[in-house]
Amino acid sequence: MTSNQALADWVREVATLTQPEKIHWCDGSQAEYDTLVAGMLDSGTLLQLDPKTRPRSYLHRSDPSDVARTEHLTFVCTSRRDDAGPNNQWMDPADAHAKMNALFAGAMRGRTLYVVPYCMGPLDSPFARCGVEITDSAYVAASMRTMTRMGTPALKRIEREGSFVKGLHSLGDLHPERRFIMHFPQELAIQSIGSGYGGNALLGKKCHALRIASHQARQEGWLAEHMLIMGIEDPQGRLHYIAAAFPSACGKTNMAMLIPPQEYQGWKVHTIGDDIAWLHVGDDGRLWAINPEAGFFGVAPGTSRHTNANAVDMLQHDTIFTNVALTEDRRPWWEGLSDETPALDWQGRPYQPANGPAAHPNSRFTVSARQCKSWSDAAERPSGVPISAIIFGGRRASLVPLVLEARNWRHGVLLGASMASETTAAATGKTGVVRRDPMAMKPFCGYHFGDYWSHWLATGARLNKAPGIYQVNWFRRDAQGRFLWPGFGENLRVLKWILDRCQGSIGAHETPVGNLPLHGDIDLSGLDVSHDHIRQLTEIEPQAWRDEMDQVNSFLHGFGPRVPQALHDEREQVAQDLRGLGAT
């Protein structure tokens, strides 16, 4: 089925180990997808939604023990433990292979082995990278068609180039004690067994596009990042692209599909991607980005017409939903979507509030990016798009202002390395617990964070026209616990300030922790936000920031001697400037 001997040999080896009933090489065609769906409908793997209101859309229910990424069962397997770093769980490659070979032995008996060639990024982009996933899940094969450029064209590229990431996946018996996700960066290989959940099973996504790709990127001189990519066009037709990293529950997908507020008529948002960015230094000395994905695998709960109308609209057809609830007339439902009461919960039981949320909190939708109204065909440009600004965000009730500009690239790397969110009582029983998630890559960086930050610094040194780096915080609260900023579409007002700064058209107030907006430079027209709120949103509390720098110091030292000295020096400079501020 292929002229690539290494691929043919690998498929044969896997088939000998896993003993499938038959082998199918995926071509990515519509006919193939329809056949996969028909088979899953017959087996009950998929349920058809109301064809009138949700044409060609389906519900998939995963095993109740298999509903999220299993980070405690996810390993990076490098020959030296320290190369994986304290940010990853490590296993010796030989031990990992032995464990996985035993689990994969006979795992596909009675099943079809699907060979899924795919390309992460535009098919003709020199910055795209290919992979092949072997799986016994029709759900995975169908979803990979949506999430990647999958099929014969990807196989042809693999045959031309000769290289590909090997991904082996089996549902196994779905037992949690026999569920593992192993990454072998030095072999460009992934093995996953015992899970059908997207992040564990769609190996092109987090496993390849971040954990393995971050290793590839360091070797080859680019960056693989957990970032959205969006373009912002003003009424004069000036278009700028930004990349932004946010931890979970911070509105990443909502921002990627942002709808401008009424006061911003003539402004347009161009969605390139909502989750992953591959960044490279262009011949012009600028930073360029491609979105390696072709679809959205988004969290359903909280998605509504108020928070993300573009997402709601794109989910009206040709979508696979996972672990959402159902209404009486077989429409998908989740908390935040409407005031309706669903008929069935995510496990197919009659909905009872005592059983918990109707939709699983991590329920998902899988849909082609092209169905989003704000999607831009610039996502298919082989060169990618030029990045004017990089944004790091988090959820902080205090301390971090609405928007902050890094003084330079090195300071920006410090902002990214120390970014954090605060937990809530519902999640932990304790509020205000700061959890640091550097560059939103804590679960996804495939190697030691110290080396990763060094690579960021080295990348900046290669840029002649480095993008500005910014930190935002949509979640600051007042003394009564109320949000000070309305968020959602109104965030465009902050993004406009960022782009104005990138163009050098406005000034800023310099502080030890970064540059802040001057009075009146964030447009509040038509917005019910007082100048007192803006003052609170943009104020710096020196003692709180001194405490923060002490905590950042401890955090960085936790990664040992591989942390670049330049990052320690930058933190010390901020701390020293803060001490000087306190002395005046």
Structure tokens at 506: 């406005």
Instruction: Indicate which CATH number applies to the domain containing 34.
Output: 3.40.449.10
End position of a domain, from candidates 313, 346, 367: 367
Query: Is residue 408 one of the residues assigned to a domain?
Result: yes
pLDDT score for 68: 85
Sign of the torsion formed by the C-alpha atoms of 169, 33, 374 and 121: positive
- The answer to whether residues 324 and 357 touch, using CB atoms and an 8 Å cutoff, is no
Instruction: Indicate which CATH number applies to the domain containing 325.
Output: 2.170.8.10
φ, ψ for residue 255, nearest 5 deg: -70, -40
Residue 579's CB is within 10 A of a number of other CB atoms, namely 13
Nearest by Cα to 129 from 138, 141, 119: 119
Q: pLDDT: is 582 or 165 the higher one?
A: 165
Q: Please tell me whether residues 395 and 511 are part of one structural domain.
A: yes
Show the domain range for 144.
5-220
Give Cα 299 to chain centroid, integer Å: 11
Q: Please tell me whether residues 236 and 283 are part of one structural domain.
A: yes
pLDDT score for 495: 98
Single-letter code of the amino acid located at 396: R
For 395-429, write each residue's pLDDT tens digit: 999 999 999 999 999 999 999 999 999 865 333 34
Query: Is residue 216 one of the residues assigned to a domain?
Result: yes
Query: Is residue 175 one of the residues assigned to a domain?
Result: yes
Share of the chain above pLDDT 70, in %: 98
pLDDT score for 581: 84
Which residues form the catalytic set?
Answer: 250
Q: Please tell me whether residues 145 and 193 are part of one structural domain.
A: yes
End position of a domain, from candidates 220, 237, 261: 220
Q: pLDDT: is 184 or 199 the higher one?
A: 184
User: What's the CA gap between 518 and 488, in Å, rounded?
Assistant: 22
Which residues 6+ apart lie within 8 Å of 332 measured at CB? 49, 54, 57, 59, 300, 315, 321, 324, 325, 326, 365
pLDDT score for 483: 94
Residue 93 confidence (pLDDT) above 80: yes
Query: Is residue 213 one of the residues assigned to a domain?
Result: yes
Q: Where are the beta strands (DSSP E) in 323-419?
A: 325-326, 332-333, 364-368, 385-393, 403-405
Q: Please tell me whether residues 286 and 301 are part of one structural domain.
A: no
Residue 287 confidence (pLDDT) above 80: yes
Mean pLDDT of the chain: 95
Q: Please tell me whether residues 338 and 205 are part of one structural domain.
A: no
Q: Please tell me whether residues 363 and 386 are part of one structural domain.
A: no
Q: Please tell me whether residues 180 and 242 are part of one structural domain.
A: no
User: Exposed (0-12), middle (13-18) or buried (19+): which is 442, by Cβ within 10 Å?
Assistant: middle
- The answer to whether residues 406 and 470 touch, using CB atoms and an 8 Å cutoff, is yes
End position of a domain, from candidates 200, 220, 240: 220
Structure tokens at 39: 């088979």
User: What's the CA gap between 217 and 455, in Å, rounded?
Assistant: 9
pLDDT score for 584: 42
Answer yes or no: pTM beyond 0.95: yes
In this prediction, residues 541-552 reach a mean pLDDT of: 97
For 555-566, write each residue's pLDDT tens digit: 999 999 999 999
φ, ψ for residue 468, nearest 5 deg: -70, 150
User: What's the CA gap between 329 and 317, in Å, rounded?
Assistant: 16
User: What's the CA gap between 405 and 450, in Å, rounded?
Assistant: 23
User: Exposed (0-12), middle (13-18) or buried (19+): which is 398, by Cβ within 10 Å?
Assistant: middle
pLDDT score for 431: 54
pLDDT score for 423: 66
Give Cα 427 to chain centroid, integer Å: 21
Residue 325 confidence (pLDDT) above 60: yes
Q: What's the chain's Rg over C-alpha atoms?
A: 24
Query: Is residue 562 one of the residues assigned to a domain?
Result: no
Which of 95-99, 420-424, 520-524 bottoms out in mean pLDDT, i.e. has the lowest?
A: 420-424
Q: Please tell me whether residues 269 and 309 are part of one structural domain.
A: no
pLDDT score for 69: 83
DSSP H or E run through 460: helix 449-461
pLDDT score for 427: 39
φ, ψ for residue 372, nearest 5 deg: -80, 130
In this prediction, residues 167-186 reach a mean pLDDT of: 97
Q: Please tell me whether residues 262 and 362 are part of one structural domain.
A: no
User: What's the CA gap between 138 and 510, in Å, rounded?
Assistant: 55
In this prediction, residues 198-225 reach a mean pLDDT of: 97
Query: Is residue 580 one of the residues assigned to a domain?
Result: no
Q: Please tell me whether residues 448 and 527 are part of one structural domain.
A: yes
Q: Please tell me whether residues 179 and 75 are part of one structural domain.
A: yes
For 449-497, write each residue's pLDDT tens digit: 999 999 999 999 999 999 999 999 999 999 899 999 999 999 999 999 9
Which residues 6+ apart lie within 8 Å of 522 measured at CB? 402, 403, 493, 494, 497, 534
pLDDT band at 582 (very low <50, low <70, confident <90, very high): low
Query: Is residue 567 one of the residues assigned to a domain?
Result: no
Query: Is residue 484 one of the residues assigned to a domain?
Result: yes
In this prediction, residues 170-192 reach a mean pLDDT of: 97
- The answer to whether residues 168 and 181 touch, using CB atoms and an 8 Å cutoff, is no
Nearest by Cα to 498 from 296, 242, 260: 242
β-pair type (514-516, 509-511): antiparallel
User: What's the CA gap between 481 and 397, in Å, rounded?
Assistant: 8
Instruction: Indicate which CATH number applies to the domain containing 402.
Output: 3.90.228.20
β-pair type (129-135, 165-170): parallel
For 340-362, write each residue's pLDDT tens digit: 999 999 999 999 999 999 999 99
φ, ψ for residue 209, nearest 5 deg: -70, -15
3-state helix, strand, coil in the chain (%, to 5): 35, 20, 40
pLDDT score for 429: 46
- The answer to whether residues 296 and 256 touch, using CB atoms and an 8 Å cutoff, is no
Domain count, the chain: 3
Q: Please tell me whether residues 119 and 22 are part of one structural domain.
A: yes
pLDDT score for 426: 37
User: What's the CA gap between 389 and 296, in Å, rounded?
Assistant: 23
Which of 110-119, 384-393, 416-425 bottoms out in mean pLDDT, i.e. has the lowest?
A: 416-425
pLDDT score for 1: 86
User: Exposed (0-12), middle (13-18) or buried (19+): which is 112, by Cβ within 10 Å?
Assistant: middle
